[in-house]
Structure 1
Amino acid sequence: MFENGITAKVNLLERSCSCRKFNLVKMPCKHAMAALRAKYGDGEGYGNSIYDYSSPIYKVESYLLAYSKAINVVPLEAEGTVPQELLNTKISPPPYDPKLGRKKLKCTKGIDFNLQL
């Protein structure tokens, strides 16, 4: 497909595009949409083909299946109970290596060599 001086290669069989959006998101990018329009025209086939070339995870059935089970809500902190052995546990900070990072420079005040007497 050719758009605004940029050429993108679309392969509808492999569901890929050189812009990589079609490959990553698994939903037709603007280049793939233009290729589908060129293949099917603006009729009924074009509208239905968009869903055929999208990943099944975007379909209503997949969405309903993903959220069909109950999601447990985390209780408020005031309502939660923490076991006593966890309350008494001391957590130490991770080991520290002072050699890491950028070396610090010592700045000293000196004579300004640009002054002329």
Structure 2
Amino acid sequence: MTKAAAPAKPTAGELELLRVLWPLGPATVKQVHQAMQQERADVTYATVLRQMQLMHMKGLLKRDDSERSHVYAPALSQNMLQTRLLKELIHKAFSGSGKALVMAALRKHVTQEEREEIRQFLHGDEQ
């Protein structure tokens, strides 16, 4: 099976695993499993192994098999994947308008504290 040029779009479960792997950096299945157990005690080693193998086949993870324990790393940085997913969301749900996305987020999904941070960011950009 050949890998696509761009990694597949991750599922919710795959994103959960990536959120654990990004701060860890390249890691073995055992290391990822231990980190995931801190949030979900019920997750099994076999489940993490199977998921990481599938993610490697989909192109979401890179794997170094030079050592006895394979070491996995995300194929894309967190920022790169978020940017790619955001572009897709803007295109599909907001007719390509970044402004529409921001306005929708500001209306319902931003706390007052976050609004103030955004205000400060925008004010700093204008100078």
**Shorter-chain TM-score tier:** under 0.3
TM-score scaled by length of structure 1: 0.25
TM-score scaled by length of structure 2: 0.24
Higher helix share: 2
Q: Over alpha carbons, which structure has the higher Rg?
A: 1
